[in-house]
A = this chain, B = another copy of it.
Amino acid sequence: MRIGIFDSGVGGLTVLREIHEALPQVDIVYIGDTARVPYGNKSKETIVRYSVELSNFLLGRGADVIVVACNTASSYSLEILEDRLSVPVMGVIEPGVRAALKLTKNRKVGVIGTLSTVNSNVYQKLLKKQGVDVVAKACPLFVPLVEEGLLKGKVAESVIEHYLSNLKSSGIDTLILGCTHYPLLKGLIGNFLEGVSVVDSASVIAQDLKDCIGNHGGRGELEIFFTDISPNLKELVRLIVGKDVGFQLADLEAIKTST
């Protein structure tokens, strides 16, 4: 059993980390599309094309299940991938919604994410179908903030205040972090939104996988690829995964021509 995970960049490593902790014996192959990050401000057509390319790369590396660890890609590509691929495909949207529905008491839930994720209305539709009131807010600066390693301090606080002030007064009791970068700001967001339960989908996905496949064989191997390697990538990977892990460059041209 080999789990394939893709993301637009490094954010999906928060999902890798949770899965690896829940299923330490299972092999994982990850690809982050750092050459083309961010996806959050790209069009649907572009995001779907990239998602298909990355999924095929993971299948080529022996993945038996694909986790789309990117909310933007999950919003736009999940159904198409489920149609086209012969292996199970898991997104991050439905697990996040499920976690929020378990926690909310007043049936008022907030969702934050990239512009594309929020504009796609996917979270809002799923939650409203369950009779829940939704307040959604795009927070485009959160991803660069995390990638800059600014996880605390004045800048992070002023950015959080800028985006979340309206949510604070909206009466929500639960907030979904609709972007895989955001768990790294979870502490600060929780402090700012006192009394609000802050949920992300990574732990739910890890639990789902555990229920489905158990801790099947393998050696707990982590194979991590990026489509571009920038000078500060090593530090960023260590920051997110919580330990030093190796990674290698994936040839983007080969990825594109193989589809």
Q: A-side interface residues toward B, CB under 8 Å?
A: 34-36, 41-43, 46, 115-116, 119, 140-141, 143-145, 147-148, 150, 153-155, 158-159, 161-162, 228-232
Cβ contact of A36, chosen from B35, B141, B147, B230, cutoff 8 A: B35
Docked complex Cα distance between A153 and B41 (Å): 23
Q: Tell me if B155 and A42 are in contact (CB < 8 A).
A: no
Distance to closest chain B CB from A240 (angstroms)? 15
Cβ contact of A46, chosen from B41, B116, B155, B228, cutoff 8 A: B228
Distance to closest chain B CB from A198 (angstroms)? 21
- Chain B positions within 8 Å of A115 at CB level: 230-232
Distance to closest chain B CB from A149 (angstroms)? 10
Q: Tell me if B145 and A154 are in contact (CB < 8 A).
A: no
- Chain B positions within 8 Å of A41 at CB level: 34, 147, 230, 232
Q: Tell me if A43 and B229 are in contact (CB < 8 A).
A: yes
- Chain B positions within 8 Å of A155 at CB level: 141, 158-159, 162
Q: Tell me if A42 and B228 are in contact (CB < 8 A).
A: yes
Q: Tell me if B140 and A148 are in contact (CB < 8 A).
A: yes
Docked complex Cα distance between A150 and B36 (Å): 23
- Chain B positions within 8 Å of A159 at CB level: 155, 158
Q: Tell me if A230 and B42 are in contact (CB < 8 A).
A: yes
Docked complex Cα distance between A148 and B142 (Å): 11
Docked complex Cα distance between A117 and B230 (Å): 12
Docked complex Cα distance between A35 and B38 (Å): 9
- Chain B positions within 8 Å of A150 at CB level: 141, 162
Docked complex Cα distance between A150 and B139 (Å): 12
